[in-house]
Amino acid sequence: MDKKGSELDLPGFRFHPTEVELLDFYLRSAAQGKKLDFDIIGRLNIYHYDPWELPGLAKIGEREWYFFVPRDRRIGNGGRPNRTTERGFWKATGSDRPIRSVADPKRLIGLKKTLVFYRGRAPRGTKTDWVMNEYRLPESFSSTSTAASAKEDIVLCKIYRKATSLKELEQRAASEEEATRESQICRSVADTTSISTKTTIGAPPSLPSTQMPRRRSRRRMQRSLRRRFDR
């Protein structure tokens, strides 16, 4: 078998690594420049794409997609990574969670950060159900490793969609229906106003029916007075 072939050529193969395996094997090997027998996790700057584009760019995955991502730090922003895409941004949901060895709990293997994708621009935005787990090696890894072994400053990202509950789906549907109703009402009011305005502008001004007899009687009186004076 050609080990350099695609992992999709392996029948029944499923890729479900643990967090310890992602950090201590895959990410550590990639950071040290080691090449694995099977190229399962691709390298990609995911911030050049929106999350719904990433599944098609991953080498493997059905509900979870993995990428090695270079750390693109902002200049003049405290060294924080730039996580902005064309249509939105990734926002962290809390503090980083340490990942420790099961055999030796004192040994810190790496850190995990959870982020959620928002459409729009910070600080405002619309929350989506796209989630990312970003795994990175501890700072001690780069400081203890030699320059030859620690070649890249990268992280390992797992992208997936959060399961949406039935209640949340019903709330979204209700809000969409309400927005549709409001839009229809606004259109109906606008159409009615437009028709009323056109009718008012196109038709000659009409006088109240109560004023018509009065004007006619006044005209008759004026005619009779003129006849009298003419005589």
pLDDT of residue 224: 64
Mean pLDDT of 63-75: 83
pLDDT tens, position by position, 17-54? 999 999 999 999 999 988 888 889 999 999 999 999 99
User: How many CB atoms are located within 10 Å of the residue 159 CB?
Assistant: 24
Q: What kind of fold does domain 14-168 have according to CATH?
A: 2.170.150
pLDDT of residue 205: 56
Q: Which amino acid is at 201?
A: I
Alpha carbons 68 and 45: distance in angstroms, whole number: 8
DSSP assignment letter at 207: P
Per-residue pLDDT band for 5 (boundaries 50, 70, 90) equals: very low
Mean pLDDT computed over every residue of the chain: 79
Alpha carbons 172 and 36: distance in angstroms, whole number: 44
Per-residue pLDDT band for 74 (boundaries 50, 70, 90) equals: low
pLDDT of residue 19: 96
Contact indicator for 23, 99 with CB cutoff of 8 Å: yes
Task: Give the predicted TM-score (pTM) of the model.
Answer: 0.65
In Å, the largest CA–CA distance within the chain is: 130
Per-residue pLDDT band for 15 (boundaries 50, 70, 90) equals: confident
pLDDT of residue 14: 82
pLDDT reading at 78 higher than 80 = no
Taking the domains of the chain in order of start, what are their residue ranges?
14-168
b/e per residue 115-147 (b: at least 16 CB within 10 A) = bbbbeeeeeeeeebebbbbbbbbbeebeeeeee
Q: Is 173 left (phi over 0), alpha (psi -120 to 50) or beta?
A: alpha
User: Helix/strand/coil (H, E, C) string of 76-103?
Assistant: CCCCCECCECCCEEEEECCCCEEEECCC
pLDDT of residue 12: 77
pLDDT tens, position by position, 136-177? 999 877 655 544 444 568 999 999 998 866 676 677 678 778
pLDDT reading at 128 higher than 90 = yes
- State how far the alpha carbon of 106 is from the alpha carbons of 17, 36, 101, 195, in Å: 22, 28, 7, 77
Alpha carbons 82 and 74: distance in angstroms, whole number: 6
Quote the tokens at residue 169: 């789906």
